[in-house]
Amino acid sequence: MKRRALIAGAGAGALALAACARKPASTGTVPSGKRFEWKMVTTWPPNFPGMGSGVNQLVKNIEAASAGRLRIKVYAANELVPAFEVFDAVSQGTVEIGHGAAYYWKNKTPASQFFTAIPFGMNVLEMNGWMYYGGGLDLYRELYARPQFNLVPFPAGNTGVQMGGWFNKPITSVDDLRGLKMRSPGIGGEVLKRAGGTPVTLPASEIFTALQTGSIDAAEWVGPYNDMALGLQDAAQYYYYPGWQEPGPLLECIVNQDAWASLPPDLQTIVELACSALNDQMMAEFFARNANSLALLEEDEDVEIRPFPDEVLRELRRYTGEVLADMVAAYPDVARVYESFSAYRGRAVRWSAISELAYLNTRNL
């Protein structure tokens, strides 16, 4: 218990290490020869492009860097536990490690959603800035370290700004969202509810069938690369952008705290660095492959790619403000995370305006 308490309280000390600038966790010691065989459960279909393939690479990197002292066997969603039981399986120690997205655990703790994506929130650069250098990771670890969760989280992947989703009818005003049953997890789903829609949270493996059979009217998943992997272009006609609901969603690795504490420092460092590498690598893969897949979708005569009207986005942003205000009032954990998130976002918006955004605009002159 003493060790767990130390880890839980470590915050910016032993655990919340910045990805790049830091001291090695272990210096001058001979690594223990003890071998570890772990199981990893994920919320993704087997070998799913981007997420599943990223996880496969993560465990290969950990095994190679540890000279085989830490081997991890990956189980896709439903192979060991269903997608939405990943959190419990790792928390309870059924398995040692998991990969998914924090907003899937909003029923465990609503504040978790800030560690994936907030509508009209931050893009990947801003999100990583908040995580590693803006206090986000400390709050994330503090929340997950609670005894009832017993987890250590690591940023471990990002899709970049997503698409707004697939619809079977044009969306010309916010009224068109009324009555719409849509796969839309996290706070984006709550915003849809304010607009009169019905949000549904489905794992990747169930989205295509639900959309094709009409059990849902619309679905957002990720972007061109991943949506084509599910075949969503064959289940709906209108493909809207941008993904206001998920501007830079962070994915997570979660490790059971007792399993984490059992690792010697060099293996802990290897796991942390491998997650950090995945965080970068997955974003690079999504960017490259989204660009390729977009070109294919633009040639598909059955698909219409459209921007949401500005008026729809303004209304959704207004609803987002209402949803966040209600959550802040209802949950002290949310209030605490929101304070850090919104203060950081304010500074990030200003810097992004005269850096990334200003540059992107110059390309369209």
Residues 135-174 that bind Ca ion (CB under 5 A): 162
| Distance, CA of 343 to CA of 320 (rounded, Å) | 17
Within 10 angstroms of residue 177's Cβ, the number of other Cβ atoms is 23
Distance of closest approach, residue 30 Cβ to Ca ion, in angstroms: 45
Q: Which x/- pattern, by CB under 5 A, does the window 210-239 give for Ca ion?
A: ----------x-------------------
Nearer to Ca ion, 55 or 259 (CB): 55
The β-bridge partners of 200 are 183
In 3D space, the residue among 155, 211, 149 whose CA is nearest the CA of residue 180 turns out to be 211
Q: Which x/- pattern, by CB under 5 A, does the window 300-319 give for Ca ion?
A: --------------------
Nearer to Ca ion, 249 or 264 (CB): 249
Nearer to Ca ion, 227 or 272 (CB): 227
Distance of closest approach, residue 246 Cβ to Ca ion, in angstroms: 5
| Distance, CA of 209 to CA of 70 (rounded, Å) | 38
Task: Write out the two tokens for 340.
Answer: 């850090």
Piece of 37-45, 119-127, 224-232, 244-252 that binds Ca ion (CB under 5 A) = 244-252
Distance of closest approach, residue 226 Cβ to Ca ion, in angstroms: 9
Residues in binding contact with Ca ion, number by CB under 5 A = 3
Nearer to Ca ion, 162 or 290 (CB): 162
Distance of closest approach, residue 39 Cβ to Ca ion, in angstroms: 27
Distance of closest approach, residue 179 Cβ to Ca ion, in angstroms: 21
Nearer to Ca ion, 91 or 162 (CB): 162
Helix axes 51-65, 265-299, angle to 10 degrees: 150
Report residue 314: phi and psi, to 5°: -60, -40
| Distance, CA of 218 to CA of 167 (rounded, Å) | 5
| 246 forms part of the interface with Ca ion (CB under 5 A) | yes
Distance of closest approach, residue 159 Cβ to Ca ion, in angstroms: 8
Nearer to Ca ion, 110 or 264 (CB): 110
Nearer to Ca ion, 162 or 320 (CB): 162
Distance of closest approach, residue 177 Cβ to Ca ion, in angstroms: 16
| 96 forms part of the interface with Ca ion (CB under 5 A) | no
Distance of closest approach, residue 212 Cβ to Ca ion, in angstroms: 18
Which residue's CB atom is positioned nearest to Ca ion? 246
Nearer to Ca ion, 159 or 352 (CB): 159
Q: Are 154 and 271 in contact (CB under 8 A)?
A: yes
- DSSP-derived letter for residue 308 is P
Tell me which amino acid residue 233 is: Q
Nearer to Ca ion, 220 or 272 (CB): 220
Distance of closest approach, residue 220 Cβ to Ca ion, in angstroms: 5
Binding residues for Ca ion, per CB under 5 A?
162, 220, 246
